[in-house]
Amino acid sequence: MQDAKKITLAIESSCDETAAAVLKGGRRILSGVIFTQIPVHQKYGGVVPEIASRRHIAKIMPVIDEALVKAGVTLGEVDQIAVTYGPGLVGALLVGVSAAKALAFARNLPLIGVNHLEGHIFANFLCHEELEPPFVALVASGGHTALMRVDGYNDFSLLGNTRDDAAGEAFDKIARVMGLPYPGGPEIDRAARVGDPTAIDFPRALLTKGNYDFSFSGLKSAVLNYLNERKMKGEKINTANVAASFERAVVDVLVIKSFEALEETGLDTLVLAGGVAANSSLQRELKNAADKIGVRFFCPTPDLCTDNAAMIGCRGFYQAAAGKFADLDLNAAPSLGLQNSASTDSDFGGESRP
Ligand code: KG4
Ligand code: ZN
């Protein structure tokens, strides 16, 4: 069958969203359904893994059914199944992986194991028809911050990676200490809009030229120390200024390293991905810097920045087009990261399917 007509059912359950989507070809979303557990986890100030797994179990089949109905597609019309197998919470991942394997086995359909972080990058293909590799991708999510050189749909090289806390993790931890609800990223984004980003001089780490790794734990500690000192002295904390100054420190590092990577690779296209890509200041600063030197800048729409299954379907489609399928022994890989494509071929479980 022609690839452009292939129907992919995609499943995502790596953290606190149970999601399914149906795609026609690589880039056309027929349906996307997301059941978010955020309100459940909010009262604990973060994701409780056991609760997440139980919620996924209760919701996975209804969400898949709804995605098929909304797409006007029956299970019999599905050509392949793509599922996130890592990184994420092991119990949460296993729910999606088990559902996908059961459906693939029952219907004798090809199974595609997708790296969630690669999925985030591919969300951009769903939003920008004209986007093609090569480009530099900045991935900033709850658990990872990385720079990738993307030379083809299955050809990646890792330029730099998370050393300690990821960008999203720092947003969430600082918001929590400031008494803002989970997830902290959107809350800090909102608070920062009315704050002064130059009010407090927080540190920027690993800014040596040619170093594309990221470290946000020092920044996190500096903000926590600042807040504790003010509290101990009984001084009032200006939440907007702290949020804006912290956010500026994160954004500065992400912008500087992204543009150094563009300079070193000689590429003229920058792609932003992951939940932190929804940050308004980060989007604005990257766009401004890109416009100044004639670099093309792409970012997904807000609903496709954060976790969703459509991006998993898109990544899965391009993997399948290159014959990268998984076997039915596909397992959850909670600590899967971004790697060079040459080293990931074995992770797909071989090329056992057509
Ligand atoms: O990619 P994602 O939805 O889940 C993971 O794969 O981790 O990313 C979630 C992260 C959270 O840390 C959340 O606080 C952050 O993305 N986030 C934001 C914004 N929206 C979500 N961070 C900064 N500004 C935002 N507007
Ligand atoms: Zn994610």
Mean pLDDT of 87-114: 98
Task: Answer yes or no: are the C-beta atoms of 306 and 11 closer than 8 Å.
Answer: no
Helix (H, G, I), strand (E, B) or coil at 182: coil
352 confidence band (pLDDT: 50, 70, 90)? very low
Ligand number with the minimum distance to the CA of 38: 1
Short-list 150, 143, 94, CA closest to 118: 150
Of residues 320, 270, 312, the one with CA closest to residue 291: 270
Q: For a substitution probing ligand 1, which of 306, 335, 336, 338 has the most ligand atoms within 8 Å of its CB?
A: 306
pLDDT at 70 exceeding the cut of 90 = yes
Does residue 226 have a pLDDT over 50? yes
Q: Give the residue whose CA is nearest to atom 16 of ligand 1.
A: 275
What is the rounded CA–CA span in Å between residue 301 and residue 123? Answer: 9
Mutate to test the pocket of ligand 1, among 141, 169, 283, 335 (most ligand atoms within 8 A of CB): 141
CATH topology for the 133-299 domain: Nucleotidyltransferase; domain 5 (3.30.420)
pLDDT in tens, 10-24: 999 999 999 999 999
Phi, psi of 139 (to 5 degrees): -105, 120
- Asked if residues 24 and 6 have their Cβ atoms less than 8 Å apart, the reply is yes
Got the DSSP string for 207-261?
-STT---B--HHHHHHHHHHHHHHHHTTPPP-HHHHHHHHHHHHHHHHHHHHHHH
CATH code at 3-121+305-343:
3.30.420.40
Summarize pLDDT for 144-168 with one digit per residue, the tens.
999 999 999 999 999 999 999 999 9
Lowest mean pLDDT among 86-95, 136-145, 207-216, 337-346: 337-346
Q: Quote the pLDDT of residue 351.
A: 41
What's the one-letter identity of residue 10? A
pLDDT at 298 over 50: yes
Mean pLDDT of the chain: 95
Report the nearest-CA residue for atom 1 of ligand 1. Answer: 275
- So where are the chain's domains? 3-121+305-343, 133-299
Whole-number Å distance, alpha carbon 239 to ligand 2 midpoint, is 27
CATH topology identical between 3-121+305-343 and 133-299? yes
Give the per-residue pLDDT at 350. Answer: 42
Q: Which residues line ligand 1 (CB under 6 A)?
A: 15, 120, 141-143, 168, 171-172, 183-186, 189, 274-276, 278-279, 306-307
